[in-house]
Amino acid sequence: MFIPENFNERQLRFHKVTRQPLIKFGKNLIISPELILDSLFLNTHYSLLESQETKQEYISKKSTQFLDLIVATANKFGYTETEREKDLYEGKKQIGDIDIILKNDFGEYLFVEAKNHALPMDVFFKNSEETKKHLEYLQKEWEKKVLKRVDHLKTEYKTYSLPKEHTYIVVSKYPEIISHYSDILILSLHEFEVWLKDFKSDRTFNEFHKNYYESKEDWLSEKDIVDLQDANLIIGRYEKK
């Protein structure tokens, strides 16, 4: 049952009515089939995520599903998975792992770091200040750890019976702002497929962005421009005379 006192308009993870979809109106109940259907998915997701009994197993299964999606994408272009979640160590200290190791028939190796994280909601909804903060967080808390693994493998590849020649990339669930500011090639799952198909020689995101995004002529439709305008992401007005 929807409880108005529990509603918080600043709650961005979900609208309270999708978790409590039955709305009391006097002596009647307002029932929306659409809300009921949405609530089944949302409540199942958060019930599993919020329960201490199921949280870790649920997160693990979601992570495995994302890794499977990456492998399925790579399979289309002749890559097969040779190993998964290979732990890396400096002495006895674990410094992370390689999520997926892929190899094609030409002996080319891809080491994939999978980033199955949702964007903070303020970033998802295009808050520029929060996006800057998110970038700083990724650079300080996340990128340093990845770069450490990249550098480690440059000298210690033999320790793990891995090839010296390989490409280390990150595939993320959503496009990440840090892609534009990192020496690591960071691609969304969609971009990963595009890169494998046409731009595998690109070794930085800036190269990929220039060759893929900037090479398109008139790639924004009139509706796209209006949407950007309504979101205050472009300066000026786009209107027909």
The CATH number for 63's domain is 3.40.1350
pLDDT of 181 higher than 90: yes
Q: Is residue 84 part of a domain?
A: yes
Q: How far apart are CA 174 and CA 172, in angstroms?
A: 5
Same domain, residue pair 169 and 196: yes
- Residue 199 phi, psi dihedral angles, 5° rounding: -135, 30
Range of the structural domain that residue 101 is part of = 57-213
Q: Is residue 137 part of a domain?
A: yes
Q: Is residue 96 part of a domain?
A: yes
- On whether the CB atoms of residues 88 and 148 are closer than 8 A, the answer is no
Q: Is residue 235 part of a domain?
A: no
Q: How many other C-beta atoms can be found within 10 angstroms of the C-beta atom of residue 101?
A: 21
Same domain, residue pair 17 and 106: no
Mean pLDDT for 75-89 is 96
Among 41-50, 145-154, 170-179, where is mean pLDDT lowest? 41-50
- Residue 161 phi, psi dihedral angles, 5° rounding: 55, 45
Q: How far apart are CA 19 and CA 179, in angstroms?
A: 34
Same domain, residue pair 73 and 126: yes
Same domain, residue pair 40 and 102: no
Same domain, residue pair 135 and 30: no
pLDDT band at 241 (very low <50, low <70, confident <90, very high): low
- On whether the CB atoms of residues 112 and 170 are closer than 8 A, the answer is yes
Count up the domains in the chain and report the number: 2
pLDDT of 104 higher than 70: yes
Name the residue among 57, 84, 56 with its Cα closest to residue 68: 84
Same domain, residue pair 197 and 93: yes
pLDDT of 46 higher than 90: no
Mean pLDDT for 172-180 is 94
Same domain, residue pair 8 and 107: no
Q: Is residue 236 part of a domain?
A: no
pLDDT of 240 higher than 70: no
- Which helix (H) or strand (E) segment is 102 a member of? strand 93-104
Name the residue among 43, 23, 45, 40 with its Cα closest to residue 32: 23
Average pLDDT, the chain: 90
Mean pLDDT for 201-220 is 84
pLDDT band at 239 (very low <50, low <70, confident <90, very high): low
Same domain, residue pair 45 and 73: no
CA atoms within 13 A on the CB side of 201: 3
- On whether the CB atoms of residues 177 and 196 are closer than 8 A, the answer is no
Tell me: the pLDDT tens digits for 113-162? 999 988 887 888 788 999 999 999 999 999 999 999 999 999 999 999 99
Same domain, residue pair 122 and 178: yes
What's the confidence (pLDDT) of residue 217?
A: 60
- Residue 77 phi, psi dihedral angles, 5° rounding: -115, 25
Same domain, residue pair 68 and 182: yes
What's the confidence (pLDDT) of residue 152?
A: 96
Q: How far apart are CA 222 and CA 218, in angstroms?
A: 9
pLDDT band at 171 (very low <50, low <70, confident <90, very high): very high
pLDDT of 238 higher than 70: no
Same domain, residue pair 46 and 89: no
Q: Is residue 150 part of a domain?
A: yes
Given CA atoms 114, 120, 126, 129 in this order, what sign does their dihedral have? Answer: negative
Q: How far apart are CA 239 and CA 226, in angstroms?
A: 9
Q: How far apart are CA 102 and CA 132, in angstroms?
A: 33
Mean pLDDT for 40-54 is 89
Q: Is residue 238 part of a domain?
A: no
Same domain, residue pair 89 and 18: no
Q: How far apart are CA 180 and CA 122, in angstroms?
A: 19
Non-local CB neighbours of 146 within 8 Å, separated by 6+ positions: 96, 113, 170, 184
Q: Is residue 237 part of a domain?
A: no
